[in-house]
Amino acid sequence: MTDAARIRNFCIIAHIDHGKSTLADRLLEATGAVEARHMRAQHLDTMDIERERGITIKANSVSIRYTGPGGEDYLLNLIDTPGHVDFSYEVSRSLAACEGAVLLVDASQGIEAQTLANAYLAIDSGLEIIPVINKIDLPAADPERVAHELVGILGGSAAEIIAVSAKTGEGIAELLDAIVEKLPPPEGDPELPTRALVFDSYYDTYRGVVCHVRVVDGSLETGSAVRFSATGVTASADEIGMQLPAAMPVKKLNNGEVGYLITGIKEIDLIRVGDTVTTVGGGATEALPGYSEPRPMVYSGIFPTDGDDFERLRDALDKLRLNDSSLVYRAETSRALGFGFRAGFLGLLHMEIVRERLEREYDLDLVTTAPSVGYEARTADGSTVAVSSPQDLPDRAELESIAEPFVKVMIITPSDYVGTVMELVQHKRGEMGEMTYLSPTRVELHYLMPLAEIVFDFFDQLKSRTKGYASMDYEPAAYRISDLVRVDVLLNNLSVDAFSTIVHRDKAYEYGRRMATRLRELIPRQLFDVPIQAAIGGRVIARETIKAKRKDVTAKCYGGDITRKRKLLEKQKEGKKRMKMVGAVEVPQEAFISALRIDE
Amino acid sequence: MLPPDSAELADLAARWRSAYVHIPFCRRRCPYCDFAVVAPGDPGTGDIEQLTTRYLSGLHAEIDMESDWEPLAALNLGGGTPSAVGAGAIAAVIDHLESRFGLEPGAEISVEVNPEDVTEEFVEGLAEAGVNRVSVGVQSFDDEVLRSLGRAHTAARAVAALEVCLDRFSTGLDLIFGTPGESLESWRATVATGVSLYPHHLSAYALTVEPGTVLGRAVREGAVAPDPDDQADKYELLQDAVGEAGLVQYEISNYARPGHTCRYNLSTWGQGEYLAFGLGAHGHRDGVRRRNVRSVTAYLERVEAGARPEAGRDITADPEMERLILGMRRTCGVDLGDREEAAEQDPGLQRLVAAGVVELSRGRLHVVQPLLADDVGATVLSLSA
């Protein structure tokens, strides 16, 4: 046990690529927590996708023993946080487990929107901030400019900013000293009923759900009975331990300490991030603040390319959910794509990660439909229907209005691009809010925008219009009624559900036109003319025709080369196998996939 | 005499044995051609005349390596440009094949010729060698089109060549349609000229873009590709015109006057067996399909060392299926055999029937719209016994 006065709980707030994982590696190495020879890059990121993309998805924590400048022993708990907007709730819970944050900014890039959003979140949560400029070894580094920016945002003076190179190790010792000197020790009362914050949980095949906790008040003891406030589940604290970074069981975690808790509970749903752990006898009556249920922001259909894989897909989703309670899904049947699921995600990155994990870890070949947001349909009788798929939309006769989620968007961009960013946002139905100059060359812009416009291709467009310099972050605002319509796409007079979408009326024509043109290019000519129509209700807004195929024969059997002819036909036959029948029309699987691709 | 499109003739052809001999030499390489061809300027070719002499002795050596067989009903010398090696060399090959395997009475002895090689003397030589059929690589009677096809002759030269051949041999006219730049009017004129010459046989192929050819590369880099709709229009134009010359269609791309079908071709589509000699040649003997190497250096190395120049073999896994996909190319159609029931129940084939692309009657499958034959072929391949 460590005296709470000798504990420092902190996290690192950084933009992707600004060197958070490298800095964490360097801290582990500098304090001898991990021997250099056991060091591997991105020590804390354990998932393949995290290592490959250099991002953190799951929060993690590690406890580091450190001897301070005065020779005293400290316990530094580094609580890793996800860096992406999709996981802002998880970020907020990680921050809640800390007293301080290292705000890490790349010396050549300057602060980015997500970092700034998280920094504001940390300041609002009362955390002490240590500003750090990283990558000072790079030729393009401009620490003075970045320091100026940080002072503008955080106040204070440039002298308080620590310059480091996580790569070379320069400045690391200074940073460690600052962590013990500047960050406050945890508060909390050892005598009060136990309250521990769950800031992360994951499923382990052998041990069940493992959760990472920060004890706020009281203590957690091995073998004691514990209760999870939000779900009301009780269990026995089978094992309590610390990550050093290897797991080491301890008897007890006291107020201020960070560690893991294993209870034998197998369902991740029962142990949720943000929940409070207390003891069963004499436990706390009031949970820690800030808990909320995970709420999907983005929905998409997931279908196996091969219909026979439906059960495998179900198993894979069930397994992913063991580790990711924010993933929700229900079975969905599509005339075009067969049996699959409608899944809800925290955001676009979350969606992409889930899809990638399904394909990579479970070897599935998938078709995913264009992402949509959750709408609220109001019907004539005054009731509200949640619409997560265009198919859920009530009949036009009953439909009163449709509301869509709006989000508060923050964009940081070099001032040269303000014009083009404004133009883009306007095109995406955004409403201008505040505008602040972070420095003479960088601007922070605030907007209110429909989430649907963001999930489409906003981020890519923002990046391409600003040559990659702009960054953005968003948070949910409110639902608002908009002039939204459902556009259906009909192939040979049959509606293809996978292509139905809910869009703003002003964008309906553009969508219909694009889908019809695309499908005409993607669907091979058939034995008869095939009309393609885009329609709102009964009204056709775009039309194309795939002309009947007239020639499908290769010249001859060259010099008696029958084998080649046969191979050619075999290939064509395989192509036919991959066709899905939509009514009498043969549509290649790839056509669905390509048509649903957002890029242009 | 059996009509060209009779099923009885087709069945007869299936039992004929033939031989194919490949003469790869060409004066220039046509941009669309992906046959095994040797043209001046090819890397490692050296002196073409010397190479030709070596090649021909290699060819004779290869003929000697083949084990004995039954007498042949058809010989076909193709290329490349067989006419480029002269009548004497052609005669030697024919003599050799005859002495090795024997020829059936009335055997078809056919040679592909280019218009620019056709002279009275050459034709005389061929006749003396026993050649009784030629197919003349005319491709088009439009000089503009001939230029874009990279051909060495003119339309006038082609007409003259045909006139000479028509007097001596059962003469086939070979055409290509749908070359980018060829107008419908140009094709109409080509067909009219062809029909007016009253050939015994007509082959007309839609220009196909093959990967690895000059045309293939050009198209990949953005040059205009042949348009399938334009080719369909031209095919239909031809279908309507051939009757005037007394030509009867017997395969997707082939038409003949009665008694002038190409035996070797008909046998191929009937799954018949044939020997193959020369560069890149494909043979079919004792149920095994084999192919020769395509590189002339490799070919010469092998045959000069006394080895077969074989590049690979295929043992037909499903000979019955092969019979169907080859046979359906013929106008007389193909007997479905034990796949009849499967054909009647197959939804894909039924769609083709409903669309008027194929007919199923009395256990036979007929492709009514030959231009969609590959679609039919791919569907037929899915039929199980």
CA distance A247 to A240: 10
The terminus-to-terminus CA distance of chain A in angstroms comes to: 59
SS3 readout for B271-337: CCEEEEECCCCEEEECCEEEEECCCHHHHHHHHHCCCCCEEEEEECCCHHHHHHHHHCCECCCEECH
The predicted pLDDT at position A177 comes to 92
Provide the number of structural domains found in chain B.
Answer: 2
Residue A81: predicted pLDDT: 78
Q: Is residue A311 part of a domain?
A: yes
Q: How far is A56 from chain B (nearest CA, A)?
A: 43
**Same-domain status, A405 and A524:** no
Q: Which of A322, A337, A370 is the last residue of a domain?
A: A370
Confidence of residue B385 (pLDDT cuts 50, 70, 90): low
Q: Is the pLDDT of residue A50 over 60?
A: no
Q: What distance in Å separates residue A567's CA from the closest CA in chain B?
A: 10
Domain assignment present for residue B311? The answer is no
Helices (H) and strands (E) in chain A, counts: 14, 34
pLDDT band at residue B57 under the 50/70/90 scheme: very high
**Tokens 């949509």 map to which residue?**
A372
pLDDT tens column, B231-265: 999 999 999 999 888 999 999 999 999 999 999 99
Q: Is there a contact between A552 and B371 if contact means CB atoms under 8 Å apart? A: yes
pLDDT at B56: 97
Q: What does DSSP assign to residue A285? A: S
Average pLDDT, chain A: 86
What is the domain-level CATH number for residue B57? 3.20.20.70
**Interface mutation target, options A552, A553, A570, chain B, most CBs of B under 10 Å:** A553
Residues B148 and B239 in one domain: yes
Q: Is residue B229 part of a domain?
A: yes
A551:B22 CB<8 A: no
Which pLDDT score, from 0 to 100, does residue A54 have? 47
Report the pLDDT value the prediction gives residue A57, as an integer from 0 to 100.
45
Same domain for B128 and B218?
yes
Assess if residue B203 is contained within a domain.
yes
* Pair A8, A106 in one domain: yes
Please tell me the distance from the alpha carbon of residue A149 to that of residue A264, in angstroms, as a whole number.
48
% of chain A residues with pLDDT over 90: 44
A208: pLDDT strictly greater than 70: yes
pLDDT tens track for A452-498: 998 877 888 898 898 888 888 888 889 999 999 999 999 999 998 88
Q: What CATH number is attached to the domain comprising A566?
A: 3.30.70
CB contact under 8 A, B228 and A550: yes
Mean pLDDT, all residues of chain B:
94
pLDDT band at A42; cut points 50, 70, 90: low
| A380 touches B at CB < 8 Å | no
A175 vs A120, more confident: A175
Within this chain, do residues B89 and B154 fall inside the same structural domain, yes or no? yes
Give the residue-averaged pLDDT of B328-351: 93
Q: Is residue B22 domain-resident?
A: yes
Band of residue A47 on the pLDDT scale cut at 50, 70, 90: low
Is B205's CB within 8 Å of A553's CB? no
Q: How far is CA A23 from CA A35, A76, A166, A420, A542, in A?
A: 15, 14, 5, 35, 54
Query: Cβ contacts (< 8 Å) between B228 and chain A: which residues?
Result: 549-552
| CB-nearest partner of A552 from B281, B355, B372 | B372
Average pLDDT of the residues in B279-298: 94
Using the beta-carbon criterion (under 8 Å), do B283 and A563 form an inter-chain contact? no
Least confident of A341-350, B61-70, B342-351: A341-350
Alpha-carbon Rg of chain B, whole angstroms? 21
Same domain as A138, residue A41:
yes
- Domain with residue A266: its CATH number is 2.40.30.10
Verify that B31 and B172 share a domain, yes or no: yes
CA distance A419 to A468: 15
Candidates A547, A553, A563; nearest CB to B370:
A553
Residue of A nearest to B383 (CA): A573
Domain boundary pick from A337, A370, A403: A370
* Residues of B in Cβ contact (< 8 Å) with A582: none
Nearest residue in A to B374, CA atom:
A553
Buried/exposed B84-107: b ≥16 CB within 10 Å, e otherwise: bbebebbbebbebbbebbebeeeb
* CA-CA-CA-CA dihedral for A357, A360, A362, A366, to nearest 10: 80
CA-based nearest residue in chain A for residue B22: A559
This prediction's pTM: 0.66
Residues of A in contact with B253 (CB under 8 A): 555-556
**Do residue A148 and residue A42 come from a single domain?**
yes
**A270, A201: one domain:** yes
* CB nearest to B205's CB, from A556, A575, A584: A556
pLDDT of residue A44: 57
- Among partner residues A528, A550, A553, which is closest to B252 by beta-carbon distance? A553
In chain A, whose CA is at the least distance from the CA of B370? A553
**Position B308 in a domain:** no
What is the per-residue pLDDT for A38?
A: 58
DSSP state of A145: H
The answer on pLDDT for A58 being more than 60 is: no
**B272 vs A395, which has greater pLDDT?**
B272
Residues B78-134 have pLDDT tens digits of 989 999 999 999 999 999 999 999 999 999 999 999 999 999 999 999 999 999 999
A524: chain B residues, CB-CB within 8 Å: none
A74 and A163 housed in the same domain: yes
At residue B46 the predicted structure's pLDDT band, cuts being 50, 70 and 90, is confident
**A572 CB near a chain B CB, below 8 Å?**
yes
Mean pLDDT of A215-236: 93
Confidence band of B50 (pLDDT split at 50, 70, 90)? very high
Q: With bands split at pLDDT 50, 70 and 90, how would you rate the model's confidence at A184?
A: very high
**Residues of A with CB below 8 A from B325's CB?**
565-566, 569
CB spacing of B281 vs A550 below 8 angstroms: no
Give the nearest partner residue to A527 out of B325, B355, B381, using CB atoms.
B355
Kindly state whether residue B301 falls inside one of the protein's structural domains: no
Best probe of the A interface among B75, B81, B268, B323, by most A CBs < 10 A, is: B268
pLDDT in tens, B131-189: 999 999 999 999 999 999 999 999 999 999 999 999 999 999 999 999 999 999 999 99
Please indicate whether, in this complex, the C-beta atoms of A570 and B370 are within 8 angstroms of each other: no
Which residues of chain B neighbour A572 with C-beta distances below 8 Å?
374-375, 377-378
For residue A34, the model assigns a pLDDT of 63
pLDDT digits over A246-298, tens only? 788 999 999 999 999 999 898 888 888 899 999 998 888 888 888 887 788 88
* Burial category of A89 from C-beta neighbours within 10 Å (exposed 0-12, middle 13-18, buried 19 and up): buried
Interface test with A, best of B282, B318, B322, B350 (most A CBs within 10 A): B282
Take residue A530 and report the two structure tokens written for it.
Answer: 């095939």
Residues B91, B27 share a domain: yes
The alpha carbon of residue A392 and the mean position of all alpha carbons in its chain are separated, in whole angstroms, by 25
- Residue A71 above 80 pLDDT? yes
Confidence of residue B316 (pLDDT cuts 50, 70, 90): confident
In this structure, the answer to whether residues B345 and B255 fall within a common structural domain is no
Q: Does the beta-carbon distance from A555 to B205 stay under 8 Å?
A: yes
Kindly tell me if the per-residue pLDDT of A102 is higher than 60. Answer: yes
3-state secondary structure of A438: strand
Q: One-letter amino acid identity for A219? A: S
Residue A567 touches chain B, beta carbons under 8 Å: no
- Provide the domain count of chain A: 5
Task: Please list, in sequence order, all residues whose beta carbon lies within 8 angstroms of the beta carbon of residue B92, skipping any fewer than 6 positions away.
Answer: B56, B60
Asked whether residue A14 carries a pLDDT value surpassing 80, the answer given is yes
Average pLDDT over residues A372-389: 91
* ipTM for the predicted complex: 0.85
A502 part of a folded domain: no
Name the residue with higher pLDDT: B267 or A26. B267
Do B361 and B257 share a structural domain? no
A528 neighbourhood in chain B, CB within 8 Å: 355
How many Cβ atoms are within 10 Å of A126's Cβ, its own excluded? 11
- Dump pLDDT digits (tens) for B212-234: 899 999 999 999 999 999 999 99
Q: What is the pLDDT of residue A235?
A: 94
Are residues A62 and A178 located together in one domain of the fold? yes
Sign of CA dihedral B161, B163, B167, B171: positive
Q: Do the chains contact at A555 and B253, CB–CB below 8 Å?
A: yes
The answer to whether the beta carbons of residues B277 and A554 sit under 8 Å apart is no
In a domain, B307, yes or no: no
Comparing A38-42, B181-185, B297-301, B344-348, which segment has the lowest mean pLDDT?
A38-42
Domain final residue pick, A482, A498, A531: A482
A549, A550, A559 ranked by CB distance to B22: nearest? A559
Distance, CA of A3 to CA of A1 (rounded, Å): 7
Instruction: Quick: pLDDT tens for A570-581.
Output: 888 888 877 778
Residue where a domain terminates, one of B228, B244, B269: B269
Q: Which residues of B touch A554 (CB under 8 A)?
A: 208, 374
Q: Is residue A188 part of a domain?
A: no
User: Which of chain A's residues have a Cβ under 8 Å away from the Cβ of B22?
Assistant: 559
Residue A353: domain span: 298-370
- 3-state SS class at A344: strand
Contact between B379 and A561 using a beta-carbon 8 Å cutoff? no
Nearest CA in chain A to B78: A559
Under 8 Å between Cβ of A20 and A101 = no
The kind and range of the H/E element at A511 are helix A505-522
Tell me the pLDDT tens digit for each residue of A309-334.
999 999 999 888 877 778 899 999 88
What's the pLDDT score for residue A557? Answer: 56
Interchain pair B375, A552: CB under 8 A: yes
Q: Which domain holds residue B92?
A: 7-269
